[in-house]
Structure 1
Amino acid sequence: MTTLKLNSQDITEGQLKDKRFSFNSFGNDGDNISPQLSWENAPEGTKSFAITCFDPDAPTESGFWHWQVINIPASTTSIEQGASGKIASGLEMRNDYGSMGYGGACPPEGHGMHRYQFTVWALPVEKLEVPEDASCALVSYMLNATALGKSTITSTYVR
């Protein structure tokens, strides 16, 4: 049996990610570039993929969504560094900063280490049935309810 596997040339499990992948606002001066991601061994029946980035350590009651891309065709197995805003066949959702696409790491200064969970989701549908202005919570719910498999790389960042 094969297992969906997420890989990256830019982020590493448990390691600090480079500042270029952090947000450029709220007193942070990163480049806000989305990392390169690739995946392999999709489960049988996969018809599309989704990518998410979530910070469970954000000082909110519900964490913080940095990125959600849905409806990526099953024929896609990678995205290049800086692909946010250029993913032609996927739908990028509004992040918790309130903007479309990738929003990099920006934990509050002095708040300590935060984890950033980059996940690829294998889905049994070509299009996830959510409104284009769906909340991050609704998209997350639908991903968890329908996924055939998922794989995560958790990188870290601190200010």
Structure 2
Amino acid sequence: MNVRSSAFKHEDFIPVKYTCDGSNVSPDLQWDEVPNAKTYAIIVEDPDAPGGTFIHWVIYNVKTNKLPENIKKTEKTDYGIQGVNDFGEVGYGGPCPPRTHPPHRYFFNVYALDIEFPVKSGVTADDLKSMMEGHIIDKGVIMGKYKRR
């Protein structure tokens, strides 16, 4: 499954607008439609964070193969249900690596699923990964980098 964004190309730098140094809004995403997928889920991960992989976004029960820019930071949205990121907030939290670090990589993982999940509050990436076990029919990723000035 190909994943793309008009905001940045795979392995390019993520524009400041989508980070803690800018407007901190989610970028638009599109991906190939997967036959038999009931829903899609997205987990955005930074494996270069000092304390281990840091989660920037959890959203599930997405019923289209695209998301517009700037999804509201509420649990229930028009596009899916958002979980809790590692900032302890609901919705998207943009790249915000320590200023002294080299560029971090941000993986926007999109999962095609054969199920729609019951709505639960406070879902973390680990919760969602457990829920998705045995239900992933395809997966794609776009990776962007970011370094603070």
Q: Which residue number corresponds to residue 106 of structure 1?
A: 96
Shift of 1:145: 4.2
Runs of 4+ in structure 1 deviating by more than 6 angstroms, as ranges, are none
TM-score normalised per structure 2:
0.89
Report the residue type matching 2:104 in the other structure. Answer: H
Q: After the TM superposition, which residues 141-152 of structure 1 pair with which residues of structure 2 at under 5 Å, given as runs?
A: 141-143=130-132, 145-152=134-141
| CA 149–96 in structure 1, closer or farther in 2 if over 3 Å, else same | same
Aligned residue-pair number: 146
How much has 1:96 moved relative to structure 2?
Answer: 0.4
Picking from 124, 139, 143, the partner of 1:135 is: 124
Q: Which amino acid aligns with 2:16?
A: K
Q: Does 1:21 align with 2:18?
A: yes
Runs of 5+ unmatched residues, structure 2: none
Distance in 1 between the 2:56 and 2:132 partners? Answer: 16
1:60 Cα deviation after fit? 1.1
* C-alpha distance in 2 between matches for 1:122 and 1:46: 6
The 1:131/1:53 distance shift into structure 2, 3 A limit, reads same
* Mapping 1:3-42, distance limit 5 Å: 4-23=1-20, 29-42=21-34
1:55 counterpart letter in structure 2: D
Q: Which residue of the partner structure matches residue 26 of structure 1?
A: none
Do the aligned residues in 1 keep the contact of 2:58 with 2:124 (CA within 8 Å)?
A: no
- Superposition RMSD on alpha carbons, in Å? 1.8
1:119 aligns with 2:109: yes
What's the TM-score once normalised by structure 1's chain length? Answer: 0.84
For residues 89-133 of structure 1, what are the alpha-carbon distances to aligned partners after superposition, in whole Å with 9 as ceiling and x for unaligned?
410001100110000000011111100001211000022x57422
The 3 A distance-change label for structure 1 pair 89 and 97 is: same
